[in-house]
Structure 1
Amino acid sequence: MRWLHGHVLVYDDHGGNQARDAAEALVRSGATVEIVTPERTLSPDVGSLTASGCVNSLAENGVAVTVLRRLHGVTRTPDGLEAELGVDGFAFREHHTFDGVVAEVGTEPVQELYDELLDASINLGAVDLAELLDHRPQSVVRNEDGSFRLFRIGDAVTSRNVHAAMLDAARLCRTI
């Protein structure tokens, strides 16, 4: 990111550590940085005990943090890159100009293997949410000829952290 300089927006769709790491690298290269996230806090997966150290490091480096703002678009203007920010669920929009924009918006799930296995599964990938929440074994049968149950968890569903995948797996597997 050495090529980025000036005032840089670092957007992180999940408020994760990637934004903090990118901000610190940009500051080291001479940029001024603003981190923006639609989350209520920055680095929600960092415990409260260590969070103050992370925030202090950003503050010492002059990094501004803006929460509860989603990046809706970036437009090149004669003055730089104009970022359109808004609040989820509301019509509110604001525009800020930056010299550079770095966006962490997660990953696209790789679903080729899931798609290959789907037709051979008993449940065709379906999850009974009532059974899941009641800690009961999954009993959905949508394919009598299937030979196994198939479930998508974690990043195979959408871009999430490891903890979300572990929780999905624990909920599904504790009844096996």
Structure 2
Amino acid sequence: MVVYESYFGCTQQVAEAIGAGLTCYGTVHVLPVAQARGMRAIDVDLLVVGGPTHAHAMTSAHSRESAVDRGADGVSAEAPAYGLREWFDEIEQGAGPAAAFDTRIDASALMTGRASKGIAHRLRRHGFHLVAEPESFLVSHDTLLPDEAARARSWAEGLGRIIVQTPASVR
């Protein structure tokens, strides 16, 4: 399962590329965070979670409102109230493999921050174990940089290989 939060479409593109990279390993569900509400993330072989980097971290209610003010596509008036932070508050404890990703401006992580670090922290806190270091995919303003979708797909293929090579008893 790939769960993502996206406001300008970049993170959605990355999530879909990750989903495509995992399809050769089984059925993949790629869901925006609002649609993942109430889903049992503990029932999946691999949970991949990602979101945009806003103000050096995961989105917040304030940063989501700002995204709407900046003209984010496809965001209803209700959307800013629910994001990854709220989703993590609702999900059950897990025990399976997981991975975290983000999208961020193409600049030093020291300057931009990385939402994937906070996502990884929350995954661990919920009992999941990371099978890869958190990954960032780069954007320029509200556009995914060239080759980032292909890089996301390749990253996901690597995640799939890790899962296939890990005995179920260890997962």
Task: Report if TM-score (shorter chain) is over 0.5.
Answer: no
Greater helix percent: which structure?
A: 2
TM-score (norm 2): 0.29
TM-score by length of 1: 0.28
Q: Which has the higher strand share?
A: 1
Higher radius of gyration, 1 or 2: 1
